[in-house]
Amino acid sequence: MNGKVILVTGASRGIGRAIALECGRRQASVAVNYSSSRDLAEEVVREIEDGGGCAKSFQADVSEVKQIEALFDQVISHFGAVDFLVNNAGIMQNKPVDQVSEEEFDRVFGVNVKGLFFCCQQAARRLEAGGKIINIGTSVTRVMLPNYGTYAMGKGSVEQLTRVLAKELGARGITVNAVSPGPTNTELFREGKSEEQMSALGAMSAFNRIGEPEDIARAVAMLCSEEANWISGQTIFVNGAFIG
């Protein structure tokens, strides 16, 4: 990844943070996007720089199209190009369908679907030939979990867009894939879950544990490599055999 510029949305914590750090270790220049957690984003930048890498933080709420456009403008102005995009920014909702308000629905879809769509649109217009787009999905689309209706519905849209965009951008040598984690040890995932629940979820994998953010980050980095140039339009489940 030496000499490549990667934009990671929602990179101040969790899986996004791990992706940014992994790509920084692999000598990519990393654009660390955040919405409100500036201090955490700056910590990610400092850690990449302390390891000899190059990074800069960029604020943008990806649910706002104008802010997405400005984000790409700023990243290209600073680094000169965008080669890879990782659409990681997302919010989770764990609520029965009959209790979801219109405002809550719009908030989830505003980030997880609208935001990802318009980030992909900017990438389609601005990525260098031979670029990579990796969309972060979820293994929840393959299991019938109650209370995940809004979240699973939105992430299902991510898988479909990934397939369509792979066909649209293939002529420019741009690959488009989705990486779909299973239960992963992040603050967002742990919220509201007991240790018993976490242990039960871990027992559903082949390795008797839940995933770590670094597990997901390494899969993303692999898809950014030249060795993955023939992989496109795929949803890759990175979940330790939690679900197939």
- For residue 207, what is the domain's CATH number? 3.40.50.720
CA dist 174 to 95, 118, 140, 161, 235, Å? 37, 17, 27, 14, 16
CA dist 92 to 108, 110, 153, Å? 7, 12, 11
Backbone angles phi, psi at 236, to 5 degrees: -105, 120
Instruction: Burial-class residue 15 by CB neighbours within 10 Å (0-12, 13-18, 19+).
Output: buried
The pLDDT of residue 79 is 97
Give domain status of residue 218, yes or no.
yes
The pLDDT of residue 232 is 98
The model's pTM is 0.94
The pLDDT of residue 180 is 97
CB neighbour burial string for 152-165, b if at least 16 within 10 angstroms, e if fewer: bbbbbbbbebbeeb
Q: Round the CA-based radius of gyration of the chain to a whole number and report it.
A: 17
CB neighbour burial string for 198-232, b if at least 16 within 10 angstroms, e if fewer: beebbebbeeebbbebebbbebbbbbbeeebeebb
Q: How many Å from the N-terminal Cα to the C-terminal Cα in the chain? A: 30
Give domain status of residue 244, yes or no.
no
The pLDDT of residue 226 is 94
The pLDDT of residue 187 is 86
The pLDDT of residue 189 is 83
Q: Which of 126, 154, 161 is nearest to 31 (CA)?
A: 126
The pLDDT of residue 192 is 78
Give domain status of residue 243, yes or no.
no
Residues serving a catalytic function are 151
Residues of the chain with pLDDT under 50: none
Q: Quote the CA–CA distance of 140 and 153 in Å, as a whole number.
A: 9
Number of domains in the chain: 1
pLDDT tens per residue across span 211-227: 999 999 999 999 999 99
Domain assignment of residue 118, given as a range: 5-238
CB neighbour burial string for 91-111, b if at least 16 within 10 angstroms, e if fewer: bbbebeeeeeeeeebeebbbb
CB 85 within 8 A of CB 132: yes
What dihedral do alpha carbons 139, 143, 146, 149 form, nearest 10°? 60
Q: Which of 235, 218, 213 is nearest to 142 (CA)?
A: 235
Give domain status of residue 155, yes or no.
yes
